[in-house]
Amino acid sequence: MCGIVGYVGRAEAAPILLEGLRRLEYRGYDSAGVATLEEGCVSVRKEVGRIDDLKKAIGSHPIGGTTGISHTRWATHGKVTRENAHPHFDRSGKLALVHNGVIENYASLRAQLEEEGHIFQSQTDTEVLAHLVGRAFDRSSERTQGALVAAVRDALRQVTGTYGIGVVHAEFPGLIIGARRGSPLVLGIGKGEHFLASDVSAIVSHTRDVVYLNDYEIAAITEDGFTLSTVEGLGADYNVTTVDMTDEDVGKGDYTHFMLKEIHEQVRSVTDAMRGRLSHEEATAKLGGLNMTNAELRSVERIVLTGCGTALHAAMVGEYLIEHLAQVPTECEFASEFRYRNLPMTKDTLVFVMSQSGETADTLAALRESKRKGHRTLGICNNVASTIARESDGGVYMHAGPEIGVAATKSFTSQVTVLALIALLLGRIRNLSSAAGSRIISEMETLPDLIAKVLAKEEEIAAVARRYAQAKVMLFMGRQLNYPVALEGALKLKEISYIAASGYPSAELKHGVIALVNAETPSVFIAPDDAVFHKNLSNIEEVKARGGPVIAIGTEGKGGELSLICDDVILIPQAPEILTPILTSIVLQIFAYHIAVELGCDVDKPRNLAKSVTVE
Ligand code: AGP
């Protein structure tokens, strides 16, 4: 979604801002803009399209200055046009503002400002905020830095909704003001320079020392330092965090796309999700971050897992794992629906919110609603500095490393791994024997090798993918643990290749889906060697009987039966049933990736999508 980068220091601001915006490209955007302060004026350049278009615009009409703010916009209020791109100005034209989030009461505020004679250039909610700050500053009796901060405070008190903002004013050439509520904002500390960003990856090549702003905090940033206060006008404490992220982590290395790099990182990311968490001695998982004693965990009567998109698919695998190993009734719920449902939740219901970014607005809202109702709410997050990680009562970090590709890959397998650890722990404090616990641990320890074997098949999978790249519709089928993988495989394919794809439990075919089967509609069956293998085989026969092409994902040693009836077969190595979703999902990631590449799609920046969806 939208991204913010700000710079104040001694270097030329524009190149630093452009580089920062480029690092935020993965979040998804449709237009971009930069404003710098030079010679008592605000210079601005905005373009619809890519950062390269903005760079060209700045190349032909350069802007100078050592202070500036910049933004990538993902349209919510108002079409994708240059006028609607940020930064936006106040009435005086001296104040520029960039904004992430949504000002919910913008329409009434705009009407009121228009009555006072304010004229707006855009359809955005953001421009209203710029006018409010400018009006408050112009009404103040002082023209000082403190008065500008007070004007920001005054404006923020009038708005409802969410914001992460950056503000500059022509009269203060070495000052940026930032503030947040609901949209992440981080302040980067350099030597003789400071940064503001919505995501630390934008500034990590300059500094790793950062301060994460809390909701309702306002930062006034100069080249030499910064001050923090609150929207209420109080002082604010802060901690400087040294981020554990390098420039390399946020680069593509030798890979053509972030998605491919992240697919290949899964041997390491799954290893890191398990590292130090498996105890052979006690035949269980150790998850100290849950902040719950075994007695408390034993009293859990019900579990609700919630998240969006890929995170919800991982949750659905988790539902099977927890019920299978621990026999605790578990339910998955779309985070976007959680708040509006009246889920029957007893006082001993434990809620897990799952989010790679830890900033997804719907998931954050589910977390807050669950806590409001008094439930212990734990997070399964990748981003340790995220709002969800901070607001959860405890949880488990995925340790997958930065995921930049919009299509989630390694976060899915890390989430499933973490859920398997939770299922093991919950099982062991209930009925699961120590022998069964030890066997599961030994099996989980084989995962990195099994993943490496799947990754080694990339060329074989790519060849199959290329054969089906021209399909207009594709169906994905799986049963039990691999039903959520069918959903995930379909999601991967449609989001990066725009092929219409849907996932179903295999047996649902005959209840309607089979009407879609014809010679032009390939069906992907996830049919590893498990308890329902022969059931899947029967469903494959039903598709073949109607002339539909079938691609099967099976298991080595069971490939013969599949090859007899399927058009193409991709085999994963022999693996315990509970680990198959991790291996089959990786096959489908590679499959979707190579179809998208074959079709010439922009794999890392699919149309209309954002990496982190920070609006409802
Ligand atoms: C999947 O490829 C998507 N990028 C999307 O469904 C994603 O999983 C969803 O938006 C949730 O994101 P989160 O894990 O950061 O909360």
DSSP 161-222: B-EEEEEEETT-TT-EEEEEEBS--EEEE-SS-EEEESSGGGTTTT-SEEEEPPTTEEEEE-
CA distance 280 to 283: 5
pLDDT at 165: 97
Pairing of the two strands 31-38 and 41-48: antiparallel
Is residue 308 classed as helix, strand or coil in its secondary structure?
coil
Averaged pLDDT score across all residues of the chain: 94
In the chain, what are the domains? 3-250 (3.60.20.10), 251-445 (3.40.50.10490), 456-616 (3.40.50.10490)
Best residue among 257, 263, 308, 493 to mutate for probing ligand 1, ranked by most atoms within 8 Å of CB: 308
pLDDT surpasses 80 at 279: yes
Locate 388 and state its tokens.
Answer: 């969800």
Average of per-residue pLDDT across 201-205:
91
pLDDT at 250: 75
Determine contact, residues 593/257, Cβ cutoff 8 Å.
yes
- Read off the pLDDT band of 175 (50, 70, 90): very high
What is the edge-to-edge ordering of all strands in the sheet holding 226-230?
A: 88-89, 95-100, 163-169, 176-181, 217-221, 226-230
Q: How many angstroms is it from 56 CA to the middle of ligand 1? A: 32
Residue nearest to atom 16 of ligand 1 (CA): 355
Average of per-residue pLDDT across 237-263:
88
Q: Is the CB of 126 under 6 A from ligand 1?
A: no
pLDDT at 517: 92
pLDDT surpasses 80 at 119: yes
* Ligand 1: nearest atom to the Cα of 613: 10
Q: Is the CB of 311 under 6 A from ligand 1?
A: yes
pLDDT surpasses 80 at 249: no
DSSP structure string for 245-260: --TGGGS-TT-SSHHH
510 part of the active site: no
* Catalytic residue selected from 2, 308, 381, 566: 2
pLDDT surpasses 90 at 72: yes
For 479-535, write each residue's pLDDT tens digit: 999 999 999 999 999 999 999 999 999 999 889 889 999 999 999 999 999 999 999
pLDDT at 75: 85
Best residue among 1, 27, 305, 310 to mutate for probing ligand 1, ranked by most atoms within 8 Å of CB: 310
CA distance 558 to 573: 10
pTM summary value: 0.82
pLDDT at 510: 87
Locate 157 and state its tokens.
Answer: 């008190």
Q: How many angstroms is it from 380 CA to the middle of ligand 1? A: 13
Determine contact, residues 571/559, Cβ cutoff 8 Å.
yes
Q: How many angstroms is it from 248 CA to the middle of ligand 1? A: 23
Determine contact, residues 302/349, Cβ cutoff 8 Å.
yes
For 406-453, write each residue's pLDDT tens digit: 999 999 999 999 999 999 999 999 999 999 999 999 999 999 999 999
* Ligand 1: nearest atom to the Cα of 411: 14
Q: Is the CB of 482 under 6 A from ligand 1?
A: no
Q: Is the CB of 406 under 6 A from ligand 1?
A: yes
Residue nearest to atom 4 of ligand 1 (CA): 407
Q: How many angstroms is it from 79 CA to the middle of ligand 1? A: 24
For 565-608, write each residue's pLDDT tens digit: 999 999 999 999 999 999 999 999 999 999 999 999 999 888 88
Locate 256 and state its tokens.
Answer: 């053509």
Q: How many angstroms is it from 203 CA to the middle of ligand 1? A: 23
Q: Is the CB of 310 under 6 A from ligand 1?
A: yes
- Read off the pLDDT band of 48 (50, 70, 90): very high
CA distance 360 to 335: 9
Q: How many angstroms is it from 13 CA to the middle of ligand 1? A: 32
Q: How many angstroms is it from 12 CA to the middle of ligand 1? A: 35
pLDDT at 605: 85
pLDDT surpasses 90 at 246: no
Is residue 331 classed as helix, strand or coil in its secondary structure?
strand
381 part of the active site: no
Output the CA torsion sign for 11, 13, 19, 21: positive
Identify the burial level of 108 via C-beta atoms within 10 angstroms of its C-beta, where 0-12 means exposed, 13-18 middle and 19 or more buried.
Answer: exposed
For 4-31, write each residue's pLDDT tens digit: 999 999 999 999 999 999 988 877 788 9
pLDDT at 228: 97
Residue nearest to atom 11 of ligand 1 (CA): 308
Is residue 499 classed as helix, strand or coil in its secondary structure?
coil
pLDDT at 527: 97
* Greatest extent of the chain over all pairs of C-alpha atoms, in Å: 84
Q: Residues of the chain with pLDDT > 70: what percent? A: 100
Q: Residues of the chain with pLDDT > 90: what percent? A: 87
Q: Is the CB of 495 under 6 A from ligand 1?
A: yes
- Tokens 């524009």 correspond to 14
Determine contact, residues 6/196, Cβ cutoff 8 Å.
yes
Best residue among 312, 360, 413 to mutate for probing ligand 1, ranked by most atoms within 8 Å of CB: 360
pLDDT at 306: 97
Cα atoms in the 13 Å half-sphere on the side-chain side of 378: 23
- Read off the pLDDT band of 385 (50, 70, 90): confident
